[in-house]
Amino acid sequence: MPADTLASSDEIHAYLVDQLNDVLRRPGMWGGEFAIRLTLDHLLFVEGRQGAWDKEKRALERREARTATGVKGAFEAVLPADHSTSVASVYAEFAHRQGWLKLDRALSADEYATMLAAIDPWAARDRTWPDVTSAFGTPSVLFGSTNPYYGKTLGYATADRSAPMLFFHLWNGAAPGTEPSWPPSHEQPLLLAVRRGDAPFTTSFTFTPEGQRRRPAQEA
């Protein structure tokens, strides 16, 4: 193939950034955590920074946000749902810091501060998807389907890439690896927990009462 027919490095980079954003938003359609990792590897190769992921992986392990089975393994201990969108949210933290994550809406600094201060008392009651968006507006990123019969994760972020993202993990009754029941368990997905990005994983969650009831049983 003639060299002048190949895509330029800038075109390849832009393509991979777009693909990563699609994979993060629709992880179930692309193959989950493996597809996210593969896209990240390709993007870091194009940027000549292959070692950046090794550094991030060690940081995730220190936060206990990654186990021997990946980021999914960390969520299996705290949430009952299909974990694909939750897993994507952790990789989105890395993508945001790298400047790759395309936000649908960036919160202002004041909005972010108000939201951060309000989360704990607000999550003391059971909430649904419409409650989240009514209280905090359209998310910066929707991880998962717009269909209310499926679980999803809502991410909120500012344009300041150093400010940790905030995530709302929603569930609608499906067990891991299964399709939602029909009729669905709930008309709107239930909020199980709010998570603060970049914090130590085990202390980063604020659980709703429903989230506490649904937490997986821990082995003695």
- Of 165, 136, 159, nearest to 24 by C-alpha is 165
Q: Find the mean pLDDT for residues 180-198.
A: 83
What integer pLDDT is reported at residue 82 of this predicted model? 77
Rounded Cα distance between 117 and 135, Å, is 13
Question: What residue ranges do the domains of the chain occupy?
Answer: 3-214
**What's the Cα-to-Cα distance from 72 to each of 5, 77, 81, 158, rounded to whole Å?**
40, 9, 11, 26
Provide the pLDDT confidence category of residue 220 given band limits of 50, 70 and 90.
very low
Quick: pLDDT tens for 8-58. Answer: 999 999 999 999 999 999 998 899 999 999 999 999 999 999 899 999 999
What integer pLDDT is reported at residue 176 of this predicted model? 47
Per the model's pLDDT, the better-predicted residue between 99 and 202 turns out to be: 99
Calculate what percentage of the chain has a pLDDT beyond 70.
92
Quick: pLDDT tens for 57-73. Answer: 999 999 999 999 999 99
Provide the pLDDT confidence category of residue 5 given band limits of 50, 70 and 90.
confident
- For residue 100, the SS3 value is coil
What integer pLDDT is reported at residue 16 of this predicted model? 97
- Count the neighbouring beta carbons within 10 Å of the beta carbon of residue 213: 11
pTM, two decimals, is: 0.91
- Count the neighbouring beta carbons within 10 Å of the beta carbon of residue 155: 26
The CA angle 59-61-62, to the nearest 5 degrees, is 65
Q: Is the peptide bond before 180 cis (omega within 30 degrees of 0)?
A: no
Residue 215 and residue 80 in contact, taking contact as beta carbons nearer than 8 Å: yes
- Count the neighbouring beta carbons within 10 Å of the beta carbon of residue 200: 11
